[in-house]
Structure 1
Amino acid sequence: MTQNTPLSPLSACFPRPLHHLQDVTHRVLSAAQLRARGVSAAQTSAQCLPGGPWQHLLPGVYLLHPGPPSGQERLHGALLYAGRPPVSSRRTAPEAADAGFGEAMVTGQAALALHGFATVPDLGALHRVDVLVPRTRRLRSTRYVEVVRATAALPVPVRLAGVPVAPVERALADAVAGLGDAEDVSRLLTEAVRAGHSEPAAVVRELSAAKLLGRPAVVGAVEALLAAGRAVAEERLYAMVREHGLPEPLWNVELRLPGGPELGGVDAYWPDLAVAVELDTRAPRSGAPEEGRRGGNRGAGRAEDPQWSAYAARRDRLERLGVTVVHLTPRKLREAMDQQATVVRTALMAADDREPAAYLVVLPR
Structure 2
Amino acid sequence: MDDDLDFWQRLLRDQHGVVTRTQLLARGFTDHGIQAHVDAGRWQRLHEGVYVTYSGPPTAEARRIGALLACRGGAVLSHETAGELHGFVAPDDQRPIHVTVRYGCSAVRLDGVKVHRSRAFAHIGSEGAPPRTNRVHTVLDLAVAAPDAREASRRAHQYALDAGVHPLALERAAELRRPPRHGRAVADAVALLRDGVLSPLEHRYLVDVEQAHGLPIGSRQAPVLVDGVRRYEDIAYDLPGGRAIVRLDGFGGHRDPRTALVDRRRSVAAVLVGVPSVPFGWLEVTTLPCRTAREVEALLRPLGWDEPLALCPRCP
* TM-score, length basis structure 2: 0.54
Among candidates 46, 66, 70, match of residue 55 of structure 2: 66
1:159 aligns with 2:149: no
Q: What SS does structure 2 have at the residue aligned with 1:170? A: helix
Q: Does 1:226 align with 2:191?
A: yes
Displacement of 1:177 = 3.7
CA drift of 1:237 comes to 9.3
Distance in 2 between the 1:222 and 1:116 partners?
A: 24
CA distance in 2, matches of 1:46, 1:151: 41
Structure 1 residue 229, shift from structure 2 partner: 4.3
* Deviation per residue, 1:253-298 (Å, 9 max, x gap): 98xxxxxxxxxxxxxxxxxxxxxxxxxxxxxxxxxxxxxxxxxxxx
- 1:154-303 equivalence runs, <5 A: 154-160=122-128, 162-180=129-147, 185-195=152-162, 197-207=164-174, 209-213=178-182, 219=185, 223=188, 226-231=191-196
1:295-334 alignment, distance < 5 Å: none
Counterparts of 1:252 and 1:27, CA distance in 2: 57
- Kindly state the Cα deviation for residue 46 of structure 1 after the two structures are TM-superposed: 1.2
Q: Does 1:110 align with 2:85?
A: no
Deviation at 1:232, TM superposition (A): 5.9
> What's the CA shift string for 1:311-348, capped at 9, x where partnerless?
xxxxxxxxxxxxxxxxxxxxxxxxxxxxxxxxxxxxxx
Q: Which of 44, 47, 50 is the equivalent residue of 1:55?
A: 44
Is the aligned partner of 1:127 residue 2:127?
Answer: no
Larger-gyration structure (1/2): 1
Work out whether residues 96 and 113 of structure 2, in 8 Å CA contact, stay in contact via their aligned partners in 1: yes
Shift of 1:25: 1.2
Q: Give the corresponding residue for 2:253.
A: none
1:34 corresponding residue in structure 2: 24
**C-alpha deviations, 1:107-130, integer Å up to 9, x for none?**
11111111111xx331x5252222
Tell me, yes or no, if the aligned pair for 1:193 and 1:229 is still in contact at 8 Å: no
Partner AA of 1:60 in structure 2 = G
Alignment partners' CA distance in 2, 1:138 and 1:24: 27
Once the two structures are superposed, residues 143-165 of structure 1 have per-residue CA deviations (whole angstroms, 9 ceiling, x without a partner) of: 122222222452152134x2111
Aligned to 1:332: none
Q: Which residue of 1 aligns with 2:109?
A: 141
Q: Tell me the CA shift for residue 202 of structure 1.
A: 3.3
Q: Distance in 1 between matches of 2:148 and 2:124?
A: 29
Number of aligned residues: 214
Indicate the SS of the match to 1:158.
coil
Contact 1:194 1:232 in 2 (8 A): no
**1:172 aligns to what SS in structure 2?**
helix
Q: Quote the Cα distance in structure 2 between the aligned partners of 1:44 and 1:57.
A: 13
Aligned to 2:146, the other structure's residue is in SS state coil
SS of the equivalent of 2:119 reads coil
Question: 1:153–1:189: structure 2 CA closer, same or farther, 3 Å change rule?
Answer: closer
Pair 143,226 (structure 1): closer, same or farther in 2 beyond 3 Å:
same
Contact 1:79 1:105 in 2 (8 A): yes
Query: 8 Å contact 2:171–2:187 — kept in the other structure?
Result: yes
For the Cα contact (< 8 Å) 2:17–2:62, is it kept in 1? yes
One of 65, 76, 79 as aligned partner of 2:65 = 76
Displacement of 1:205: 4.8
Judge conservation of contact 1:54–1:63 (CA < 8 Å) in 2: yes
Query: What is the RMSD of the two structures over their aligned residues, measured on CA atoms?
Result: 4.0
Residues 16 and 38 in structure 1, CA contact (< 8 A), matched pair in contact too: no
One-letter code of the match for 2:43?
Answer: W
Secondary structure of the residue that 1:62 maps to in structure 2? strand
Q: Which runs of 5+ in 2 are unaligned?
A: 199-218, 239-316
Matched residue SS, 2:29: coil
Q: Does the Cα contact within 8 Å between 1:54 and 1:65 map onto a contact in 2? A: yes
One-letter amino acid of the structure 1 residue matched with residue 182 of structure 2: L
User: Corresponding residue for 1:284?
Assistant: none
Q: Where does structure 1 lack aligned partners over 5 or more consecutive residues?
A: 1-14, 86-102, 255-365
Separation in 1, partners of 2:140, 2:195: 21
The alignment's TM-score, normalised by the length of structure 1, stands at 0.48
Aligned with 1:76: secondary structure?
A: helix
